[in-house]
Structure 1
Amino acid sequence: MKLTNHQRSNLLAILILAWGSTAMVGHMINSPTLKGIGLASAAAPYTKVFCQAQTRDGKDFETFTADFTIFYQLEDGTEQSMSITPEVYQKLHGPYQRRNVYGAVLAYGPALPEPMQETTLRYALLSPGSVPSELGIPDSATHHRVEMVSRTPKTNNSWTFKPNIITK
């Protein structure tokens, strides 16, 4: 049987859809092999942006239902805070890839290995530490920390992230 151009196009679309779904289907049916093939092909995206992650101690949390606040201390010793809203986050300079790293370290903070989280926060907040000034925080501010509070119903999870050096 000879296929028409239209039928060939439809068949190709079905094959591309099937191939592009391998990583997600592999995850859903708990097949590491299928998931791995899909991921290795780079043709099967498997985004876990709007999902649950697991903390280092095994608790589930939702990465997209949290409020973030950065706290810092002024020279006179008073503590100030700033909610990290989409409007504030837009003040970060540079390409998407740079801003995305900081967003991922915050959203996935409880799941990341502590050395990775601390190193990234130290780089962002302390040395070279350009993020505070981009957000309008005084250069003289010290004792930076970020608090993440879950808004997931029926939970009251919160986490505090600090670079392991607390002054500039």
Structure 2
Amino acid sequence: MTRTLHHPGRCTAQAMLPSPFGPLLWARTADGIAGMWFDAQKWFPAAFQAPHRPDDPLILEAAAQLDDYFAGRRDRFELPLDLHGTPFQRAVWAALLDIPRGRTSSYGDIARLVGSPQAVRAVGVAVGRNPVGIIVPCHRVIGRDGTLTGYAGGLDRKQALLRLEGVLHPLQESLL
């Protein structure tokens, strides 16, 4: 498993909290939520120095909004984010925020949106490195032909998230 966190020294709090899809490690900086990773997902960060604060107000608000999402009461998140990546990664993550709940987009669509139509693979890498899956909805990106493709949290979670949002088609489920 590859582990990465580009800004561990800036984190002011971290907490491991439960979710319907397994434990989530949350990290925040003074500026916002910097990470939310499923336990043992690809790109899970190595241990970093930040106080364990399961009572941190911003982390608790983020977790509450995520609970509302899981319950179908929230379509978008209203949280300050402090996402660190290359300019290209940040452009891809911004494009992901425009994919509404109940819809999907392809890697090629995202490449065109960020002005790099030939960079489909680079978009895939940026989508995979998204440090706050679900909040920045990378699970809504699928293959051009409608197939489910990689998800750092695991294809089973991607399938479940798309099913939760009502966009998973029987063909896609049969291809897993």
Q: TM-score, normalised on structure 1?
A: 0.26
Judging by fraction of residues, say which structure has more helix: 1
Structure showing greater Rg:
1
Q: TM-score, normalised on structure 2?
A: 0.26
Judging by fraction of residues, say which structure has more strand: 1
